[in-house]
Structure 1
Amino acid sequence: MNLESLAPPSDPAMPRRLSSVRWRLMLAVPLATAVAVALFAWSAGGFAPVAGGWERAGWMVLLLSAIQLLLIEAMLLRPLRRLAAGCEAMESAPLPLTPEDAAPTPGQAAELDRIGHAMRRVRGSLWQQDQDARELRRELSQQRLLLEQAHTALEANQRELASLARTDALTGLANQRAFDEALRREFKRAQRQRGLLALAVIDLDDFKRFNERYGADVGDAALQRIAALLDERFKRDTDVVARLGGEEFVALLPGFGMAEAQNVLELLRDDLRTLRLPDGEGSLTVSIGLAAASPAHPYLSAQALMQAADEALYIAKHAGRDRLSLAA
């Protein structure tokens, strides 16, 4: 088979076309230049005949036309001829269709081997990077899970700390901080609504001697029993029972006047006398100071109400203990 017969045939008319374009430009360029020179002369002063003017114009047209044709030849026609010659050479070149012609040279084969080896190394590196990325994602997922668990545990600890900050650890009652907040809140509400608010300070009699006789563990168990009794006796949603520290407790009774609070506290004293202490050891009594705010007997502040209850407790202690004293 003749390989040259498979190549596309060259165009024999290409040189004739370039020659035709050249002759057309040689006619069109001087004509266009003459028109341009005439328009310029007319715009400068009309077509009045001047001696030697037409001769100068003719030479100018020839000079400008020659310059333009040289530029067109150098910048357009000559590159077109080279391009046409290159196309003809490419079209006439034989195609390597046989395996022998298409086989690479030894140098090309070595280069292809190097390229193949480099590509295999790149693929191996990409695979390793993908494995590393997957392992990193697994570690990040585990770290995220551990972080969420730690966050949950931290929130639980914060809630527990907040609860401990407002709760007495031994008895489970409200502590001094929680009671102070409740006292301010309920006192303002009683003032705003012109309502009633009773406050009782409850102190165990001779509790230090009780501890010395029966031991601190029995004393702590006794405090827990008394706290449970207080929580049972004052069980309205609005009641607040707290341990102020040591053997001193307090009860805040919104909506109670002096008479209602006195009746409840006398029942509390009776219940305490019959309270069975741990291991049946000993007995305890309480002294109570009671103050009550009402529209008929107002107090200037929550601190004033608390001070009145403390003064009543002081009177009960010095009057012989195991009694309830009312604030004046």
Structure 2
Amino acid sequence: MSTESLADPLSPVAARPVGSLRLQLALGLPLVTAGVLLAIEWTLDSLDTSPEGLVRLAGLVVVISAAQWLLLEALLLRPLRQLAQGCEAMVAGAHTVGWSEPGEAGAVLSAELGRIGHAVEQTRTRLSQQDHEVRELRRELGQQRQLLQEAHGALEAQKRELASLARTDSLTGIANQRAFDEALRREFKRAQRLRGPLAVAVLDLDQFKEFNLVHGTDEGDAALQRVAGLLSDRFKRDTDVVARLGGEEFVALLPGVGVSEAQGVLELLRDELRALRLPDGRGDLTLSVGLAAFSPTHPYLSAQALLQAADEALYIAKHAGRDRMSLAA
């Protein structure tokens, strides 16, 4: 057998597989990476299809694919290339060896087969190490994914908490003006559509600045919290909304309640607050109330007009001597 018959079939085998594998990896890694990232984003319900989101996703695909490429190049392709070079060197050595004697040819072939066996064993060891490293990498990726899901859950919880804080008065814990305005617009449209009653009461603590000067701001804050507690206890239907508009001013939104019914409940509330004396017994709290109600027989053009009517009624109650209720005209 001539050396040419050995060299010709080995040369393409040594050159083609590594290059073909590199091409397959170069084409496949970005596609697989993009698929994995899209699956994760879709699972977490955070897929952003905007141009900025797609650019960010493409950047992640490039970075992760490059990192995988470098890892595979160092752990797999380079050893394969070295093996291919060894095979080429063996073939080149076969051309230079003059196998003129059978014993000499057998010794050379045995030596070359020994080298091939050693190279195969080294490659097997390296592949085993790489398989172990791949399993470790998968385990770390699983841990990172779990951490990412936990961080996503914590972020969603923080978002919900911030949304709640944006609609809640920090001192009293009841709704703030933003939440009340939204509820007023919603309930006013519903009352117009259903032609049902809707009462709005604006409540203001009388002479509260003097109260703070005499008893201190801490006791003033406690008084505001007492008023908020009474309002929440008195108006506890799912549709009722009580809110603090600011300072010592509160408001109650009562869907489905007419003027006479609202008036009776608010008078009882004023009596309860008056009886709620300070812990040291040095004073009491009183409320002035302005009440307005929407009904088919007494309509208002807008939710703001209804609230303005209650404000004007409160102004009348204040100037009539405080500690009383006034009805909108």
Structure 1 length as normaliser, TM-score? 0.66
Alignment map for 1:294-309 (pairs within 5 Å) = 294-309=295-310
Cα gap change, 1:219/1:277 in structure 2, threshold over 3 Å: closer, same or farther? same
Q: Helix, strand or coil: the match of 1:282?
A: coil
Following superposition, the deviation at residue 208 of structure 1 comes to: 2.0
Q: Any conservation in 1 of the 2:240–2:252 contact (CA below 8 Å)?
A: yes
Q: Helix, strand or coil: the match of 2:174?
A: coil
Following superposition, the deviation at residue 276 of structure 1 comes to: 4.0
Counterparts of 1:122 and 1:282, CA distance in 2 = 91
For 1:193, the equivalent position in structure 2 comes to 194
Alignment map for 1:29-178 (pairs within 5 Å) = 105-178=106-179
Q: Any conservation in 2 of the 1:199–1:253 contact (CA below 8 Å)?
A: yes
Could you report, residue by residue, the CA deviation over 1:225-274 in whole angstroms, capped at 9, with x for unpaired residues?
A: 11111111112222111111111110111122222111111111100011
For 1:231, the equivalent position in structure 2 comes to 232
For 2:264, the equivalent position in structure 1 comes to 263
Could you report, residue by residue, the CA deviation over 1:78-128 in whole angstroms, capped at 9, with x for unpaired residues?
A: xxxxxxxxxxxxxxxxxxxxxxx9997221222112111211221121112
Counterparts of 1:277 and 1:151, CA distance in 2 = 47
Which protein shows a greater Rg?
Answer: 1
Counterparts of 1:171 and 1:200, CA distance in 2 = 18
Q: Helix, strand or coil: the match of 1:171?
A: coil
For 1:283, the equivalent position in structure 2 comes to 284
Identical counterparts, % of pairs: 75
Q: Any conservation in 2 of the 1:222–1:278 contact (CA below 8 Å)?
A: no
Partner amino acid, structure 2, of 1:197: L
Q: Helix, strand or coil: the match of 2:156?
A: helix
Counterparts of 2:103 and 2:280, CA distance in 1 = 109
Q: Helix, strand or coil: the match of 2:149?
A: helix
What's the Cα RMSD here? 1.9
Q: Any conservation in 2 of the 1:218–1:278 contact (CA below 8 Å)?
A: no
Q: Any conservation in 2 of the 1:221–1:278 contact (CA below 8 Å)?
A: no
Cα gap change, 1:108/1:278 in structure 2, threshold over 3 Å: closer, same or farther? farther
Structure 2 length as normaliser, TM-score? 0.66
Q: Any conservation in 1 of the 2:199–2:294 contact (CA below 8 Å)?
A: yes
Q: Any conservation in 1 of the 2:203–2:290 contact (CA below 8 Å)?
A: yes
Cα gap change, 1:161/1:282 in structure 2, threshold over 3 Å: closer, same or farther? same
Q: Helix, strand or coil: the match of 1:225?
A: helix
Cα gap change, 1:203/1:250 in structure 2, threshold over 3 Å: closer, same or farther? same
For 1:26, the equivalent position in structure 2 comes to none
Which structure 1 residue ranges, 5 or more long, are not aligned? 1-100
Cα gap change, 1:277/1:114 in structure 2, threshold over 3 Å: closer, same or farther? farther
Q: Any conservation in 1 of the 2:277–2:285 contact (CA below 8 Å)?
A: no
Q: Any conservation in 2 of the 1:205–1:285 contact (CA below 8 Å)?
A: yes
Cα gap change, 1:200/1:305 in structure 2, threshold over 3 Å: closer, same or farther? same
Partner amino acid, structure 2, of 1:119: V
Partner amino acid, structure 1, of 2:326: S
Q: Any conservation in 2 of the 1:199–1:290 contact (CA below 8 Å)?
A: yes
Partner amino acid, structure 1, of 2:175: A
Could you report, residue by residue, the CA deviation over 1:21-53 in whole angstroms, capped at 9, with x for unpaired residues?
A: xxxxxxxxxxxxxxxxxxxxxxxxxxxxxxxxx
Alignment map for 1:213-228 (pairs within 5 Å) = 213-228=214-229
Counterparts of 2:123 and 2:288, CA distance in 1 = 89
Aligned residues: 228
Counterparts of 1:163 and 1:278, CA distance in 2 = 32
Counterparts of 1:147 and 1:278, CA distance in 2 = 51
Which structure 2 residue ranges, 5 or more long, are not aligned? 1-101
Following superposition, the deviation at residue 327 of structure 1 comes to: 0.9
Cα gap change, 1:232/1:106 in structure 2, threshold over 3 Å: closer, same or farther? same
For 2:204, the equivalent position in structure 1 comes to 203
